[in-house]
Structures are given as C-alpha cells and as structure tokens.
Amino acid sequence: MYFKTKRKYYLEQKLESHYELLNEWEIKRDLSENPTETAKCNLEIEKFNNQIKRYEFELEEVFHYITENENILEKKHYGFEKRKNNNKLKLVIFSGTGVSALSGVGVNALKNWKGYDINELASIKAWHLYPQVILEYYNERRKKAYSAEPNEIHHILSSLQTDFDLSIITPVVDNLHERAGINKVVHLHGEIFKSRSTLDANLKYDIEGYKLDIGDKCKKGSQLRPDIVWFGENLPMFDTGLNIARNADLFIAVGNSFIVYPASNIIDAIPEFVPKYIINNRLPSVKLVKKYKKEKMYKNFFIDETPLIEGLKDIIKTIV
C-alpha cells in the first residue's frame, strides 16, 4: 500500500507540472506569428497531452487500488485491536541516537575528540593502524555512557512492555534501554560495554567499568576490541532486526535520522499495512524522509515533528 500511495503522490506532482508546461506552450503558440515556431509549439502540446493522458490513466488505477484495499487495512490493523487470541500486539521501536543524546551520550558527545574525525575512528582500517588510539576513544565514550542515566524516553518505552510485546531495534551502542528495564533490545551496531576477540568474533565479554586496554586478551590469547560494528564490517544482528520488523503490528521510530545505512533500511521490512510513526523534530533533508513528509495523507504513515518526549507521549495516547 505504501508504494502505491507513493506512486499516487508522484503522479499527482507530475500532472501538476505537466499542466503548467502545457499551459505555457499553448500561450506561446497563441502569441506566435511564426509558422515554424507555431508548429513546434503544437508538437510540444501534443507530447504533453499524450503524457497527461497516460498519467491520468495510471492515477485512476492507483486510486482504485488504494480505495479497494483501504477498508481491508482499516479492519485488519488501523484500530490497533488486540488479536482474537488476546496476545499482545508486537510493538517495534526503532530508537536512534536522538534518544541517547537526551542523556548526554552518543557519537556527537565526543565529536572532535583530540582532533580526530569520528568517522575515521569508527573504521576497521583505523583499528589496524592505531589500536591504542581506538581503545582510548572508546574508553572515553564508555566512561561517558557509564555515568549517564536513562532519560524519560527510555522509561516511557520500558512502561510499554505492560501493554505490548515490545522490541527495540537500535543503532545506538549504549545500554540505557536495558538499564531502563527493557528486555528485548537488538543492537545493530554492537554494544559498547562488551568486548570481543580479534581472533574469534563469537568470543564476547562484558567490560567491567569503562576501560579496555592493550594487553586485554580473550581465552585464546588474542587482543580484545570493542564489540562495535565499524565501517567496513557487516552487521551481524541486521537479519535479526529484519525478522523482528517483518512481524511488527505497530512501528515507531523515535530520534532516528534515517541517514545511516543499512540500519535505516529496517523500516522497509515493516509490512505495508502496519501503522508507522516517525518522531523526530530534526528530520534531515534526505530523499527518503522528504517523500515520507509529503505523504502525510497516507493513513498508515505518520510523522510527528514535535520534540521527542512530547511526540512519544502523544502517540502513546492513541495506541494504549
């Protein structure tokens, strides 16, 4: 349904622009006293008329599809009604760095650490070149996260476990969701309070405190590194996140900018008929979000551009 609605919007925009261009050529033709120029105008007018007819025909088909399926979707999901077996609805939260930022942590908290480009530090290449620097950087981030506390959003999300089968999918690496009492959290980019072996990625350890140093080794004798997914590495938990997303009954993205890929592709796995809410008052000017913002008429896609806490509370009022 989403893609049909997106196509509907595209066709409406194309028709509007084509009507304007057609009008311009007609005016130009009417004012022309040159037979050659008049003939050229007639060719352009014919071209736009033909294109308009094609767009109008397709738009009618798309509109018919949307109207035909609207009642089915509304009956199936839009009311957020509990299933007949009384199981809790599966609520999937896509929680971004904007949530962690309210607790004073996240990538931007150490944006200009010792003059380094943080994107450079978050790469497997940097680890091979200067592991000591990388460990120091993540020790600083870990220290900041260690002293941080879950904020109001973390606690609001945790409270939703009473009414929903709640799963958090997140690119953030801190443990504030867990510390707020949330049971199901999938970290797409790893966990900063864990280390893993450089020899065997399956060997992982909890980090006590905030320090991880050169010489800290796994049981096989290799150096430990932060359990973080760096640029140049695959996302081992991505498929897990996709499977959770595919089974969602309700989807909320909070504090996520949708500019980090492939993590942001999680939303594409949400079934078309599932209500989707995006809460972010600082949406970036990226192609995906621009299109979503223009499609507010799509009944299963909603964007709330109020501050995160206020927006989340408003949505909760409609679903609980």
User: How many helices (H) and strands (E) are present in the chain, helices listed first?
Assistant: 11, 9
β-pair partners for 224: 197
C-alpha distance from residue 69 to each of 45, 60, 75, 296, 301 (Å): 36, 14, 10, 18, 16
* Helices 308-319, 152-159: inter-axial angle, 10-degree rounding: 10
**Tally of CB atoms within 10 A around 34:** 9
Cα dihedral sign for 136, 138, 141, 144?
negative
Alpha-carbon distance of 76 to 216, in angstroms, equals 54
Question: 205: buried, middle or exposed (CB in 10 Å: 19+, 13-18, 0-12)?
Answer: middle
Give residue for tokens 């050659």: 36
So which residues are the catalytic ones? 189
Residue closest to 134 by CA, chosen among 181, 198, 187: 198
Contact in structure between 256 and 264 (CB atoms under 8 Å): yes
Residues 6+ apart with CB under 8 A from 95: 157, 168, 169, 170, 172, 177, 253, 254, 255, 256
Alpha-carbon distance of 207 to 220, in angstroms, equals 17
H/E run at residue 38: helix 35-73
Contact in structure between 140 and 113 (CB atoms under 8 Å): yes
